[in-house]
Amino acid sequence: MTNESFRPMGRRDFLRNLAITSGAITIGGSLLAACGGSTTTESSGLSIGTPQNPIKLPVTTDAIADGLPNESGTLEILNWADYQNPESIAIFEEKFGCKVVTSIYDTEEAAIAKLRNGTFKPDLILGMTDTGLAKLVAADLLQPLNKSYIPNFGNVISGLQSPYYDLESQYTVPYFIYGNGIGYRTDRIDKNAFAGNGYDILWDAQFSGKVGVLDSYRDTLAMAMFRAGNFDGNTADAAIIQKAGDDLVAMREATNPKVDILAYTEIPSGNRDLNFTWSGDLFTALQYLPEGVAPDVLGFWYPEKTVAKNDFMCITKDAKAPVLAHQLINFLSDTDNALLNREYVGYQPALESITVDLLISSGTIPESLIDALVTPEKYDAGLAQVSLEPAVDALWLEQWTRFTAG
């Protein structure tokens, strides 16, 4: 397959386009901080914000003082694999005279457990979401931010500068935005296969052994719920949770899906025909296409009703280099640096200046992946995921274990 409209673009060309592109992304509505006062929902030690009841999180320690010097030595960060551009990190290291050391996590649950028991002792955490934030705060693992070190916070999408899960962004600064859907090989699956209930294709036995789903119990169980017409991705209804588990077991029997977070390598390599995954993974996948394979073999089905969200950056309470941690947040929130970071990561930075129109006009997005871009309308219509009460969380995990242990 070919796609003559797609062409690789150097960073310099990309930034030149930025100068002539106008219009900022504006996000509001159901996923973001509601107008009016906040409501605190506290149960079992968790402070949980929702779009309907946004929360100002409790603070147990002071932010660092203004005007402190940058630490020397090492900045330790915790991040997903392939979720930062090594070139960006090298520029930061040179600018601030430090060494950045990265530890990798593959699920939020495992990361939080290792943060609690001291296995991970980073200064800065990248890529966490609001589903884990309440647990981090309850465990007293974070320190509030001092935004005097983060002047680029003003670049963040305006609707995310005081999100429902962390009003006034006391602890967090948005990193990337994305939605959930199905990545697929366009040379093997026609887009019309997603007509009707597009999720059904994950249960289609003709693709047995060529299917993957996210190793994320919240995302994948919610996907099974959405397929069945239940669109509350935070439900406490035991019958709905049980039905989602039953349906995933049926999927396992029909298509034997791989359960991991490797869609961005497995689809371009041809090892999988389709994968329930995060939209940004298909842009990351462009870097993993074998030589001679055109970008338009990658496609994405973005459901009309699906989860759309952002992740964020936050600093640990016991950070040994908190000033450098603030500096890296500020560095990654700069438009030029965010664009360079995106060249490697693929995901959409949560900045006003980096619009969908800019990304399309840049020539860096093949036509087959335009549907994977998260427009303001898609984000605004997205379904929210929030932290679950422990008893409800246990119900979800019980069904997830039943699926993955089979």
pLDDT of residue 406: 79
Q: Report the candidate in 204, 191, 199, 206 with the shortest Cα–Cα distance to residue 229.
A: 199
pLDDT of residue 39: 38
- Classify domain 179-307+385-404 at the CATH topology level: D-Maltodextrin-Binding Protein; domain 2 (3.40.190)
Task: Give the span between the Cα atoms of 310 and 179, in whole angstroms.
Answer: 9
Q: Report the candidate in 136, 144, 138, 191 with the shortest Cα–Cα distance to residue 167.
A: 144
pLDDT digits (tens, 9 = 90+) for 82-106: 999 999 999 999 999 999 999 999 9
More confident of the two residues 169 and 159: 169
* Portions of the chain given CATH number 3.40.190.10: 21-177+309-381, 179-307+385-404
For residue 46, pLDDT over 70 is answered with: yes
pLDDT of residue 376: 87
Which of the four pLDDT bands, split at 50, 70 and 90, describes residue 364?
A: confident
278: Cβ contacts below 8 Å, ≥ 6 apart: 178, 179, 180, 214, 219, 263, 347
For residue 266, pLDDT over 80 is answered with: yes
Q: What is the mean pLDDT of the chain?
A: 89
pLDDT of residue 44: 58
| % of the chain at pLDDT higher than 90 | 82
Give CB contacts under 8 A, 24+ apart, made by 111-116: 111/78, 112/136, 112/139, 115/78, 115/139, 115/141, 115/316, 116/141
* 331-342 average pLDDT score: 96
Select the CATH number that applies to the domain covering 21-177+309-381 from these four: 3.40.190.10, 3.40.50.1980, 2.60.40.3500, 3.90.1010.10. Answer: 3.40.190.10
pLDDT digits (tens, 9 = 90+) for 199-233: 999 999 999 999 999 999 999 999 999 999 999 99
For residue 118, pLDDT over 80 is answered with: yes
Task: Give the span between the Cα atoms of 206 and 326, in whole angstroms.
Answer: 50
* 398-403 average pLDDT score: 98
For residue 395, pLDDT over 70 is answered with: yes
